[in-house]
C-alpha cells in the first residue's frame, strides 16, 4: 500500500484530526458558508507551508492582495514577510469593480492553468492556494461544462505535483458541500467549516468530510477563531508519554486527606459537587493556596465573581492569595462566561498551560459555563477541558453547583465519567443551624472513605471531622 506523504498545517488541533496534515501533491477543498473562516484557514496553512520552506502560490479572487495581507498580518501570519522573502507568491485575480462585466463564449480555465504553470516554472513553487473556486466560476457555466473545467483545473495541479488548497462556498451547513457540486469525485481531502447558531450563540466546528487513502477523525470538532487564527479542539484522550506519577498531593483541608487515604492522586481531575453555600469556593481556594505554598504553580479560574471580590472574600476567611500571586506561584483569572464562548475559554486554558505551565488548575465553577451555552456546547467544553488536562498531565479541581442531594438533583451522566474523583458537599437544617457534610463518591485507583463526614466552615477555611456521621436509628 502506497504511503501518503502529508504536510503539517500548523493549525492547532487540525493535524491531529487529519493524522498529520494535508496530502502532499494532492488537492484539499475547504468548504463552508460565508463567515465560516475558509479564507483565514487557507491563509494560515499557506503561511505555515512557507515557514517550512515550501514556496506557495496564492491566487486571490474574492479579495485584493492588499486586503489579504492586512487580514493575515492582523492574525500574526506575517504574510507580508513571506511575500517579501519570496516564499509566498501573491497573485491578484480580482475583477475590476468599475463597470459591468460582459460574458461571451464558454467559460475556460486555461488562462488560470497557464498562469499557474508559468509561475511555478519561474519561482519553483510546489503549493498553490486558490481562494475561491466559487468566485472563479462566476458567472457560473452550465453544470456539465463546470464539472469538466473544474476537473481540468485540479488535474493540472496534480500533473505539476502541486499541493493544492481550494476554497468554495457551501449552500448550507449540512447537505450539499458546495454550490458547485463537483467536489466529491475530484478532491482528495474535503474539510467542512461550520458557524452554527446554537441557542443564543454561534458555535464553530470543523469536519474532515473526506480523506482518500488515509484514516482521520470522524464527526464534527469544535474550533474557534483567535487572534492567531483558527484553533481546533480534537476532544482526544491522549496522554503525555510519561506515566502518571504514583504520588499524592495534599488537599489543603484538614481531615479530607484522611478520607482519601493520603490526598488526591497526582494528575487526577477532581469534581466537587454541592449546592450553593456548601463551601465549594472555599475548598477551591484552599486547594489552590496549598499548592502555591508548596511552591507549585497554580491557575485559578473563577467564573462566578469578579477578582477583587473573590480575593477579598478569601482574605476575610484567612486564605489570603495576594502574596502567593505576587510571588509568581499563583495566577487568578476571573470573568463571566457570558462574555466569551466555551471554545475561547479552552483557548485561554491551553494558552495558560503553555505559558504559565501550572501543575494545578482550579475551575470554579463549571456550572456557570453550563448555563451560558447549549447542552452540546457544554459537553464539548468538558471533553475538551479533560483532553487538555490529560495531554499535559495536570491535576485539576472543578466545582459544580447543584441542588441539595435531598432534592435528588441529577447531573448529565458524562459528568460522572470524566473526573477521576468526585467529592460531594451538602448541608441539612438541624434545629437552629446547618449541618454540613462531605463524602467521597468515587476515587479511581485509590481506597477512600465511603462514609459521610461532618464538616465545618471556620476562620482558615474548612475542617472535616474524622469520625463518620452517624445514621439515625
Q: Which CATH class is domain 6-232?
A: alpha beta
Q: Confirm whether 6-232 and 248-468 share one CATH topology.
A: yes
Q: Using 50, 70 and 90 to split pLDDT, how confident is the model at 28?
A: very high
pLDDT digits (tens, 9 = 90+) for 57-100: 999 998 899 999 999 999 999 999 999 999 999 999 886 555 55
Answer positive or negative: Cα dihedral of 299, 300, 303, 309. Answer: negative
Q: Using 50, 70 and 90 to split pLDDT, how confident is the model at 310?
A: very high
Give the β-pairing of 22-23 and 88-92.
unpaired
| Burial class, 90, CB count within 10 angstroms (exposed 0-12 / middle 13-18 / buried 19+) | buried
C-alpha cell at 354: 503553555
**Is cis: bond before 139, omega within 30 of 0?**
yes
Residue 137: HSE in the Cβ half-sphere, 13 Å Cα cutoff: 25
Distances (CA, A) of 153 to 13, 56, 136, 162: 30, 17, 11, 12
pLDDT digits (tens, 9 = 90+) for 40-63: 999 999 999 999 999 999 999 988
Mean pLDDT calculated for residue range 413-428: 87
Residues 431/278, Cβ–Cβ less than 8 Å: no
C-alpha cell at 81: 514577510
Mean pLDDT calculated for residue range 305-318: 95
Every domain of the chain and the residues it spans: 6-232, 248-468
Range 278-281, long-range pairs (CB < 8 A, 24+ positions)? 278/425, 278/426, 278/427, 278/436, 279/425, 279/436, 279/455, 279/457, 279/462, 280/364, 280/365, 280/399, 280/400, 280/401, 280/425, 281/305, 281/310, 281/313, 281/364, 281/365, 281/399
User: Quick one: residue 235, left, alpha or beta (phi over 0 = left, psi -120 to 50 = alpha)?
Assistant: left
Quick check: 406 pLDDT over 50? no
| Average pLDDT taken over every residue of the chain | 88
248-468 architecture in CATH?
Answer: 3-Layer(aba) Sandwich (3.40)
Q: Among 2-6, 190-194, 267-271, 385-389, which stretch is predicted with the lowest mean pLDDT? A: 2-6
Quick check: 3 pLDDT over 90? no
Mean pLDDT calculated for residue range 179-201: 83
CA 473, CA 467: separation in Å to the nearest integer?
17
Q: Using 50, 70 and 90 to split pLDDT, how confident is the model at 408?
A: very low
CA 227, CA 433: separation in Å to the nearest integer?
51
Answer positive or negative: Cα dihedral of 139, 142, 147, 152. Answer: negative
Percent of the chain exceeding pLDDT 70 equals 90
Distances (CA, A) of 170 to 139, 214, 218, 243, 279: 16, 24, 20, 45, 50
Please state the pTM of the whole predicted model: 0.79
CB atoms within 10 A of CB 423: 27
List all residues 6 or more positions away from 222 whose beta carbon is below 8 Å from its beta carbon: 203, 204, 205, 232, 233, 235, 342, 343, 346, 377, 380, 381, 384
Q: 22: closest CA among 67, 1, 52?
A: 52
CB atoms within 10 A of CB 99: 7
Give the residue numbers marked as catalytic: 62, 304
Amino acid at each position: 500500500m502506497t504511503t501518503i506523504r502529508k504536510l503539517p498545517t500548523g493549525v492547532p488541533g487540525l493535524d491531529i484530526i487529519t493524522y498529520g496534515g494535508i496530502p502532499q501533491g494532492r488537492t484539499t477543498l475547504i468548504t463552508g458558508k460565508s463567515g465560516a473562516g475558509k479564507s483565514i484557514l487557507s491563509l494560515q496553512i499557506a503561511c505555515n507551508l512557507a515557514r517550512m520552506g515550501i514556496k506557495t502560490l496564492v491566487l486571490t479572487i474574492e479579495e485584493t492582495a492588499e486586503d489579504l495581507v492586512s487580514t493575515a498580518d492582523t492574525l500574526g501570519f506575517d504574510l507580508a514577510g513571506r511575500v517579501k522573502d519570496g516564499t509566498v507568491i501573491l497573485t491578484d485575480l480580482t475583477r475590476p469593480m468599475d463597470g459591468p462585466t460582459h460574458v461571451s463564449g464558454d467559460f475556460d480555465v486555461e488562462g488560470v492553468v497557464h498562469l499557474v504553470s508559468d509561475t511555478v516554472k519561474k519561482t519553483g513553487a510546489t503549493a498553490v492556494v486558490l481562494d475561491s473556486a466559487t468566485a472563479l466560476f462566476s458567472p457560473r457555466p452550465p453544470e456539465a461544462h463546470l464539472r469538466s473545467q473544474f476537473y481540468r483545473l485540479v488535474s493540472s495541479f496534480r500533473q505539476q505535483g502541486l499541493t493544492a488548497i481550494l476554497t468554495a462556498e457551501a449552500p448550507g451547513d449540512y447537505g450539499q458541500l458546495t454550490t458547485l457540486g463537483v467536489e466529491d469525485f475530484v478532491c482528495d481531502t474535503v474539510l467542512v467549516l461550520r458557524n452554527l447558531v446554537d441557542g443564543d450563540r454561534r458555535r464553530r466546528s470543523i469536519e474532515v468530510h473526506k480523506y482518500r487513502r488515509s484514516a482521520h477523525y470522524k464527526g464534527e470538532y469544535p474550533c474557534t477563531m483567535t487572534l492567531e487564527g483558527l484553533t481546533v479542539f480534537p476532544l482526544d484522550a491522549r496522554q503525555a508519554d510519561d506515566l502518571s506519577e504514583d504520588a499524592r498531593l495534599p488537599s489543603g483541608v484538614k481531615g479530607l486527606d484522611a478520607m482519601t487515604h493520603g490526598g488526591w492522586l497526582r494528575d487526577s481531575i477532581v469534581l466537587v459537587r454541592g449546592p450553593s453555600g456548601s463551601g465549594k469556593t472555599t475548598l477551591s481556594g484552599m486547594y489552590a493556596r496549598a499548592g502555591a505554598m508548596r511552591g507549585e504553580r497554580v491557575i485559578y479560574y473563577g467564573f462566578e465573581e469578579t477578582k477583587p471580590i473573590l480575593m477579598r472574600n478569601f482574605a476575610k476567611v484567612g486564605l489570603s492569595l495576594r502574596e502567593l500571586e505576587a510571588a509568581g506561584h499563583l495566577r487568578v483569572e476571573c470573568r463571566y462566561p457570558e462574555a466569551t464562548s466555551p471554545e475561547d475559554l479552552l483557548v485561554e486554558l491551553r494558552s495558560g498551560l503553555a505559558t504559565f505551565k501550572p501543575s494545578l488548575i482550579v475551575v470554579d465553577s463549571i456550572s456557570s459555563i453550563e448555563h451560558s451555552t447549549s447542552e452540546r456546547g457544554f459537553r464539548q467544553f468538558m471533553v475538551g477541558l479533560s483532553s487538555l488536562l490529560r495531554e499535559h498531565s495536570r491535576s485539576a479541581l472543578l466545582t459544580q453547583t447543584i441542588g441539595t442531594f435531598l432534592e435528588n438533583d441529577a447531573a448529565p451522566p458524562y459528568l460522572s465519567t470524566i473526573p477521576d474523583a468526585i467529592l460531594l458537599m451538602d448541608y441539612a437544617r438541624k434545629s437552629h443551624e446547618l449541618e454540613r457534610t462531605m463524602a467521597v463518591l468515587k476515587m479511581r485507583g485509590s481506597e477512600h472513605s465511603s462514609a459521610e463526614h461532618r464538616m465545618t466552615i471556620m476562620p482558615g477555611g474548612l475542617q472535616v471531622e474524622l469520625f463518620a456521621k452517624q445514621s439515625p436509628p
